[in-house]
Structure 1
Amino acid sequence: MHFPDNIFAIILLITGMFSLWVGLAVFYKLSLAVRWFGAIILATAVWAITYGLELSSVDLSTMLFWTDIEYLGVATLPALWIVFVMRFTGKEAWLSKWNLSFIFLIPGLTLFFKWTGVFGLQYAHISVSKNTPFPLLNITPGIWYQIHTVFFYMMLAWGIGLIVTKFKKAEGILKRQNRLILVGAMIPWAVNLIYLLHIRPFKYIDLTPFAFISTSLVIGIGLLRFRLFDIMPVAREKIIEALHEGILVADQQGRAVDLNPQMKKILGNQKRSYIGDTLNMLFTEIDLLKEAENQPEHGQLEVSRKENGQTRFYAVTITPLPEQKTIHSGNVFLFRDITDRKQNEQKLEELNQLKDRLFSIIAHDLRSPLIGLADMIRLAEEGDLNSEEFISLLPELSKNIGYTSGLVENLLYWAKSQLSGATVNPVLFDLQPVTAPLLGLFQHNADEKGVKIHNQIREATFVYADPDMIQAVLRNLVANAIKFCRQDDFVFINASSSGEQVTISVEDTGVGINKENLSRLFAQENFTTRGTVNEQGTGLGLMLCQEFIEKNNGTISVDSVLGKGSRFSFSLPCVAHELVDMH
């Protein structure tokens, strides 16, 4: 290293020394919240000074020595920033020991990887470029460098988001101070982005420390001119008024002594003032005072309330107000609306169940016949089956193909209905032309088993529904009826009208259903039983029928007598009604 002979190093050294002095003054003279900003200034100063010394160096070893010290500022800046913002915005409760440990975990790992150089995680390759006006460090970033960069931007964005969210309704000097902080935070973000886009002086110089020095000066102006942190109690009051969380302060007797506008909104805004009302009057669903006595400090519980006919859920944080070390003068209740989260958790649980159900069907019902088909074709290709044996297996092959085709068709219908919501296109249509093709579709299967199908639906039997969905329902019900019929049994398709409803039934004289299976049919449970000649089922047909009927404003039911047959009935409107929302 020699005396700085380039403007970049000189600027960094001078401004870095100035920032070091300002940071020490802020750290030792001002309050705790401001000390964290003082720590930011100190980290910036360390970065600036050591980077200036790096730019003054001429050999690799000296440069790396200064970068090791430089990283004391580089690695810790994002963590110091988010801690400062949390304190500035009144989020001290978030800064538990565990949370602080997590916030400083990545900076700690960054320092470790930089100082040890293990596996090239921080710097994959380092060299000195001398094709510049003065020697510069040429760095190829490692994978951890990228991780720390993402962490840097996440902390910066999170901090800015907290400031914008909590202070967007600020007025007067509060608005000016917050604008100043935001501008100061945006400067290094923008400059570092330019650096990452490889827009750099002399190809290698990082202007980010210059930007952080500028930020320190901007915030410094705010400290001197607006006395930012002297008005923090006022800012706190403004924040509480603007909070999206409800805040309720109660005394030892459980009487409301203060609450913010959001809390009034949660309570329904039914009164001009809730001061003096007891917690039991305000919350009949839960004894909040008793819960406060039983909860540890900063305890949390969930409560639900009926609002405008809907149930809303709140996470309630209870913080005691200390009067002396062992005496509390009351409690602060913070209500955070978690209705969306609870609904999302429920949807996630439903999606997980759907995923498990789909995988189960694919793994068991679809995989087995496909393996059988593949084995049969492989034997034929290898010559292990002669023509006569292959022809004798064709009926079984045809059954397997028919089963697999039906399973895939039902699976696609059902999965689409569950995942994206099958679109309902209701029209007023005549049932008779829709059911007539079913006779031709199942005639071959019925003839093979000696089953007679009678379509007794008359012409001009109109329903208001989606024709494709109703055809899929009838196709599954008729297929089921034939499956459980014996030779010389009958299948009847009927329809009857009553007021604004039409009831359609598919009845058979087959073997019937035992009580245990009868209770499982419409329980959203995937199961199947074999038919009278060992036919397989998809396990999805009746689930699909229930889905489609309910989405067409109908209901479905079943009656069965073991040994005598079964009757599946479903009702549909015969006039236009608003359908169930499918989206």
Structure 2
Amino acid sequence: MNDLINELQLKIERLENEINFKNGLISILSHDSKELLGTFLWLTEELEQNTINEEDFFKLLPQVKRDAQKNLQTIQDTIAWLKTQYGEFKIKPVKIMVIDLFHYLEEKYAARLKEKRIKFYFKGDHNAFLTGDRMLLEYVLDKIFNNAVKYSLPGQDIYLQEVTEGGEVVLSIIDSGTGINEKYLPGIYTYGNPVFLGTAGEKGVGLSLKIVKNFISLLNGNIQIISTENKGTTVSLFLRKFIE
């Protein structure tokens, strides 16, 4: 009887988390879309009515561009999540070499790494591998690495570390950037935490880590975040070496 009650409680908790996640997602999409479109509409109307000159208009465009980039990222994250929620989505386990994941991040972020003069290194066995859904795993690492770059200062290093222990592979992205104040860590997957600018003014909506946690659960893995303000952050993924 107790086992049945515990199982029901877990199902209720899971459903509540899903509802909160979806409500938060809708709120972010609604707020960001209104903010971006409202600002752009105001600018064009001011220009049409000659209440703002072209010089001031063009001065405001970089801000509009940053808002548009943030909005686009939200939409892309949402689409990635929606793909796992509708239709017959199933995990597609394939053999993935960990070093290939390193090269994927290295190539995708080459321009940003160069811009910030950040060095990216691999630590671990170059022959290490795991089985998993490539789309989910690349998305997860992409978002974690994006945060590592965003909150690293120019000239700092970032590492992708691999440790295989029996049937588990631990992938960690380690940076020595701005870190997170410990008071914010307990609520990092909720919608109550503030959203911080990156060291080069990069903007975000705080959505990616929430989807990351969702995707890690689909991979039957776990995530751990250890961070110290002004010292850096280590995000570790605990994944099964083989999944079916």
- Give the alignment partner of residue 430 of structure 1, picking from 89, 94, 97: 97
Deviation at 1:355, TM superposition (A): 4.3
> CA–CA distance in 2 between the matches of 1:456 and 1:398?
37
In structure 1, list runs of 5 or more residues that go unmatched: 1-304, 314-338, 579-583
Query: Which amino acid in the other structure matches residue 4 of structure 2?
Result: Q
Tell me, in whole angstroms, the C-alpha distance in 2 between the residues paired with 1:517 and 1:312. 29
Residues 455 and 371 of structure 1: is their aligned pair in 2 closer, same or farther, counting only changes over 3 Å?
Answer: farther
Q: Distance in 1 between matches of 2:240 and 2:171?
A: 11
Query: Quick one: structure 1 residues 493 and 385, their matched pair in 2 at CA, closer, same or farther if it must change by over 3 Å?
Result: farther
Native 8 Å contact 1:357 1:526 kept in 2: no
Change (3 A) 1:417 1:443: same
- Give 1:558 deviation, angstroms: 1.1
- Map residues 56-95 of structure 1 onto 2, 5 A cutoff: none
Q: 1:399 is matched with which residue?
A: 66
Q: Distance in 1 between matches of 2:98 and 2:15?
A: 38
In 2, Cα distance between equivalents of 1:542 and 1:397: 25
1:329-373: per-residue Cα shift (whole Å, max 9, x none)? xxxxxxxxxx8xx99987875564344323321232443234334
Distance in 1, matches of 2:221 and 2:15, equals 27
* Contact 1:507–1:566, Cα closer than 8 Å, also in 2: yes
The Cα of 1:507 is off from its aligned counterpart by: 1.0
Name the counterpart of 1:515: 182
Per the alignment, residue 54 of structure 2 pairs with 386
Map 1:471-490 onto structure 2 (within 5 A): 471-490=138-157
Equivalences for 1:539-578 in 2 at 5 Å? 539-575=206-242, 577-578=243-244
Q: Is residue 310 from structure 1 mapped to residue 9 from structure 2 by the alignment?
A: no
Shift of 1:396: 3.7
Give the structure with the higher percent helix: 1
Distance 1:405 1:389 in 2: 22
Measure how far apart 1:514 and its partner are. 0.5
State percent identity of aligned pairs: 24
Cα distance, 1:463 vs. partner? 0.9
- Largest Rg, 1 or 2: 1
For residues 53 and 124 of structure 2, the distance between their equivalents in structure 1, rounded to whole angstroms, comes to 48
Partner of 1:359: 26
- TM-score, normalised to structure 2, is 0.81
The Cα offsets for residues 67-115 of structure 1, whole Å up to 9 and x where unpaired, read as: xxxxxxxxxxxxxxxxxxxxxxxxxxxxxxxxxxxxxxxxxxxxxxxxx
3-state SS of the aligned residue for 2:143?
A: helix
Asked whether the equivalents of residues 170 and 236 of structure 2 are also in contact (C-alpha less than 8 Å), the reply is: yes
- SS of match in other structure, 2:173: strand
Quick check: 2:151–2:199 contact (8 Å CA) kept in 1?
yes
The aligned residue for residue 292 of structure 1 is none
TM-score w.r.t. structure 1 length? Answer: 0.37
Q: Which residue type is aligned with residue 442 of structure 1?
A: Y
Which digits, 9 at most, give the CA deviation of each residue in 1:222-265, with x for residues without a partner? xxxxxxxxxxxxxxxxxxxxxxxxxxxxxxxxxxxxxxxxxxxx
Q: Confirm or deny: 8 A CA contact 1:513 1:566 kept in the other structure.
A: yes
CA distance in 2, matches of 1:552, 1:343: 18
Structure 2 SS opposite 1:507: strand
Q: How far does residue 534 in structure 1 lie from its aligned partner after superposition?
A: 3.2
> d(CA) in 2 for partners of 1:394 and 1:475?
28
SS at match of 1:505: strand
Residues 447 and 362 of structure 1, relative CA distance in 2, 3 Å threshold? same
Alignment of 1:454 with 2:121, yes or no, is yes
Counterparts of 1:243-258 in structure 2, within 5 Å, are: none
Q: In structure 2, what residue type is equivalent to 1:428?
A: K
Give the partner amino acid of 1:549: I
Residue 533 of structure 1 aligns with an amino acid whose one-letter code is: A
Q: CA deviation at 1:494?
A: 1.9
Aligned CA distance change for structure 1 residues 344 and 574 (closer, same or farther; 3 Å)? closer
Give the distance between the partners of 1:472 and 1:347, measured in 2 at CA.
Answer: 22
Q: Spell out, residue by residue over 1:397-451, the C-alpha distance to the aligned partner (whole angstroms, 9 max, x if none).
A: 4433322221111122234545668531111121222331322322333333343
CA distance in 2, matches of 1:569, 1:312: 28
**Cα RMSD (Å) of the superposition?**
3.4
Rounded to whole Å, the distance in 2 between the matches of 1:346 and 1:563 is 34
1:448 and 1:521 map into 2 onto residues whose CA distance is 28
Could you say which structure has the greater relative contact order, defined with CA pairs below 8 angstroms and 6 or more residues apart? 2
The separation in 2 between residues aligned to 1:349 and 1:432, in whole angstroms, is 37
Contact 1:526 1:539 in 2 (8 A): no
State the match for 1:498 in structure 2: 165
